[in-house]
Chain A
Amino acid sequence: EAGVTQFPSHSVIEKGQTVTLRCDPISGHDNLYWYRRVMGKEIKFLLHFVKESKQDESGMPNNRFLAERTGGTYSTLKVQPAELEDSGVYFCASSQVDRILEKLFFGSGTQLSVL
């Protein structure tokens, strides 16, 4: 069974540019989460989808970040325009919808560097 897939694995962009990260959850997992780890700091929650609906987006830093999950399958996270402080590793995770307390399955993350 395929795990959570994220791409690109690395992205280097200049300040002011736009970047879109993609996450493909495990098939059948309706819960999809985005987390971010800024260098050396804790991994922080960004938002949570249940199917295509945003359940909780309290962790989104600001309106330069836009997450979508059209059709309830894969999700994208767009940063526009990117700032230096957006650099970090962006993780996606998924779990089954009817087992909220089930463990999360994480992807390998996208390393974003904003220069």
Chain B
Amino acid sequence: AQKVTQAQTEISVVEKEDVTLDCVYETRDTTYYLFWYKQPPSGELVFLIRRNSFDEQNEISGRYSWNFQKSTSSFNFTITASQVVDSAVYFCALRDYGGATNKLIFGTGTLLAVQP
């Protein structure tokens, strides 16, 4: 069965601190996609990144970076020098490669509060 676990329910940091959000996934598929979405207070889910299982290179986008480790089935997300605007709920998600539908399996989300 496919499953995504985000063990951190809530994280609170002070501005400029670095923070890592954990994501552990389970799947029997050899090919799959992993995602991170951000849900700011406005409510909509905003796409951050998609990574396929063939590509284990870490990715950096500005203050955001992602560490994909197939050996530990993890896809962790780090925000460097956090800012108040980073406060949001962050969801990790998984989908299988061969499906004909974008049926994502989400984790329970991590609420990140960045204090000024």
Determine if B104 and A104 form an interchain contact, defined as CB atoms under 8 angstroms apart.
yes
Task: Say which residue of B4, B102, B107, B108 sits within 8 Å of A104 (CB atoms).
Answer: B102
Main secondary structure of the interface of B (DSSP, over half): loop
- The residues of A that contact B46 with a CB separation of less than 8 Å are 106
Determine if B101 and A55 form an interchain contact, defined as CB atoms under 8 angstroms apart.
yes
Total A-B residue contacts, Cβ distance less than 8 Å? 65
- Count of A residues near B, CB < 8 Å? 29
Residues 94-115 of A, flagged 1 when their CB comes within 8 A of B and 0 if not, give: 0100001101111111000000
Residues 100-111 of B, flagged 1 when their CB comes within 8 A of A and 0 if not, give: 111111111100
Binding site for A on B (CB under 8 A): 4, 9, 33, 35, 37, 42-47, 50, 91, 93, 100-109
Binding site for B on A (CB under 8 A): 3-4, 9, 31, 33, 35, 40-45, 48, 55-56, 59, 89, 91, 93, 95, 100-101, 103-109
